[in-house]
Amino acid sequence: MKNFIVALFVITVVLSSCDKEDAQGGTFDGPKATLYGGKAWTRVQLDADGNPISSGFVIDDAALNSLPVGGTAAGLENSLQFDSRASKLPFMHAGLDWNPNGHDPLFIYGKPHFDFHFYMIGEAERMAIPVYTADSVKFKNSPNAAYLPPTYINPGGGVPMMGAHWIDATSPEVSPTNPQPFTQTFIYGTYNGKVIFYEPMITLDFLKATTTFERSIPQPTKFQTTGYFPTKMKVARHDGVTEVVLTDFVSRQAS
């Protein structure tokens, strides 16, 4: 009997171990990249079936506190990869762009800020997007309106290796009657008829002054591909890092 109990215990432990190994859930970090005096990387959280719970960027304090600001400081574009286990994400890679003097239009977005790009196309395809004047037709080829939130507008033009940027006409910084200083906003990106990126834009001042923040992501009525898409964006500062993540993923059907 004693031997039987021992054997049963061993079998139970082995089976439990197998269950843990088979589970696809957990928090997984992508490769770290140098960001001035510190590091930045991607982070995804998956449930037991490998479905996304959250996905985003992690920036350590050493990086956040060493960013060049203003003057002749040059910007930085970092391409980051997600852990390979995050195969159910709609995003194929990420772009972390630091703008020490903001960018156009400067009277709205001329503050030091990050562009956090979540790309739905591969890196090679993104890098092949030309300057606007080289192929304006593909920049102007917008998806059907249903694939973008109803309050979003395209101010025109486009950025090489990114695409056309769509802004929320209800965002406080673009109010025609009572504009507020830019702190954070959410951008959609398109190119040649497709929605190709999601982009929170957040100022350095806001990141440094914020411990926790949560906002909803404006949603389209239709999606071009079947998969899981985020409905919220969150910022959290803790344990020497700042996280900017997309969360509350919902399963969507292409239509």
**What b/e readout covers 52-65, taking b as 16+ CB neighbours within 10 angstroms?**
bbbbbbbbbeebbe
Alpha-carbon distance of 242 to 116, in angstroms, equals 13
Residue 8 has pLDDT above 50, yes or no: no
Dihedral (CA of 181, 217, 61, 121) sign: negative
Give domain limits for the chain. Answer: 24-252
- For residue range 150-170, list pLDDT tens digits in order: 999 999 999 999 999 999 999
3-state helix, strand, coil in the chain (%, to 5): 20, 40, 40
Q: Show the CA angle centred on residue 205, arms to residues 107 and 171, nearest 5°.
A: 50
Query: Residue 104's pLDDT is what?
Result: 93
**Size of the chain, expressed as the number of residues it contains:** 255
Bond prior to 200 in cis (omega within 30° of 0): no
Q: How many Cβ atoms from other residues are within 10 Å of residue 17's Cβ?
A: 10
- pLDDT tens for each residue of 54-113: 999 999 999 999 999 999 988 899 999 999 999 999 999 999 999 999 999 999 999 999
- Report how far residue 80's alpha carbon sits from residue 114's, in angstroms, rounded to the nearest whole number: 14
Which sign does the torsion angle of CA 188, 67, 243, 111 carry? Answer: negative
Burial string for 155-189 (b: 16+ CB within 10 Å, else e) reads eeebbbebbbbbbbeebebbeeeeeeebbbbbbbb
Helix locations, the chain, DSSP H: 2-22, 61-64, 106-109, 123-127, 136-140, 204-209
Q: Which of 228, 148, 161, 160 is nearest to 194 (CA)?
A: 148
Give pLDDT, residue 205. 98
- Bridge partners for 119 per DSSP: 93, 197
Give the phi and the psi of residue 47 in degrees, each rounded to 5.
Answer: -85, -175
Mean pLDDT of 30-44: 98
pTM of the predicted model, to two decimals?
0.90
Diameter of the chain measured on Cα atoms: 83
One-letter amino acid for residue 201 of the chain? M
Q: What is the pLDDT of residues 191-241, one digit of tens each?
A: 999 999 999 999 999 999 999 999 999 999 999 999 999 999 999 999 999
